[in-house]
């Protein structure tokens, strides 16, 4: 059987994994924070917060943006199921907008048609590494007081007019699944320029824990491990 994809691994990766394994400390730690810092610098955002995968990245992004039951979130009708699922997990309603037949990116004109009184956000997907029309969606969201969420699961390193995707919306959501162009096997990342959103992200991925055994809000165990962050 010929594999569809094959990870490129060299002695450096093997050495780093060995260092973590022999350290005896496998959970989240300093190397995870180093990865977050490097990724934020690469994307050009104030911060990046790691999580377990791209789907949880979308889920917690909508939670920290306060998407409520009954709200509507516009998503493209041609993409993976994760964006729509993330909306449904908030007990909100995904509203499907058509995509451009040439780029397969969400069509801003159809997004405009789908905006209603309960619309709160738009999830744009940079599909196949090709950025959606960022300027058009930004203007629509600004004009209608909507939140823009970037799904960058297939677009690590892609740029729009010289600026990396994942740095335009309220948040950018990345996946590091094995088939992505940047992979850690599994894993995800949320990027943002907003300090308050970063604070909420760090709480929600760690049981709502503001300090050891002090839990100030609901949260999950969505922490990335050291091995994944390498």
Q: In what order do the strands lie in the sheet with 147-151?
A: 47-51, 188-192, 171-175, 147-151, 119-125, 72-76, 93-97
pLDDT at 1 over 70: no
pLDDT for residue 58: 99
pLDDT at 194 over 70: yes
pLDDT digits (tens, 9 = 90+) for 71-118: 999 999 999 999 999 999 999 999 999 999 999 999 999 999 999 999
Task: Name the nearest CA neighbour of 194 among 219, 168, 217.
Answer: 168
pLDDT digits (tens, 9 = 90+) for 29-69: 788 999 999 999 999 999 999 999 999 999 999 999 999 99
Query: Would you kindly state where each structural domain of the chain is located, as residue ranges?
Result: 27-229
Given the DSSP bridges, would you call strands 163-164 and 159-160 parallel, antiparallel or unpaired?
antiparallel
Taking the model in full, what pTM does it have?
A: 0.92
CATH class of 27-229: alpha beta
Q: For the chain, what is the mean pLDDT?
A: 94
Tokens standing for residue 11 = 């002695």
Taken as a whole, the chain contains a residue count of 230
Measured in whole angstroms, the distance separating CA 129 from the mean position of its chain's CA atoms is 14
Tokens standing for residue 51 = 């999580």
């Amino acid at each position: 059987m010929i594999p569809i994809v094959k990870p490129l691994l060299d002695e450096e990766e093997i050495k780093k994994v060995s260092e973590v394994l022999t350290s005896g400390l496998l959970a989240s730690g300093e190397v995870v924070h180093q990865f977050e810092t490097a990724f934020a610098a690469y994307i050009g955002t104030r911060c990046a917060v790691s999580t377990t995968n791209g789907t949880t990245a979308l889920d917690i992004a909508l939670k920290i943006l306060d998407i409520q039951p009954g709200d509507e979130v516009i998503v493209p009708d041609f993409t993976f199921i994760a964006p729509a699922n993330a909306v449904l997990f908030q007990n909100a309603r995904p509203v499907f907008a058509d995509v451009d037949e040439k780029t397969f990116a969400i069509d801003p004109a159809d997004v405009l048609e789908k905006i209603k009184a309960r619309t709160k956000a738009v999830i744009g997907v940079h599909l196949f590494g090709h950025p959606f029309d960022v300027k058009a969606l930004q203007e629509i969201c600004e004009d209608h007081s909507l939140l823009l969420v970037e799904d960058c699961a297939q677009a690590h390193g892609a740029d729009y007019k010289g600026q990396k995707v994942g740095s335009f919306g309220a948040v950018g959501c990345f996946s590091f699944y094995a088939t992505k162009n940047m992979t850690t096997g599994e894993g995800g990342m949320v990027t943002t320029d907003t300090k308050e959103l970063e604070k909420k992200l760090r709480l929600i991925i760690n049981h709502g824990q503001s300090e050891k055994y002090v839990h100030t809000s609901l949260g999950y165990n969505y922490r990335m491990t050291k091995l994944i962050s390498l």
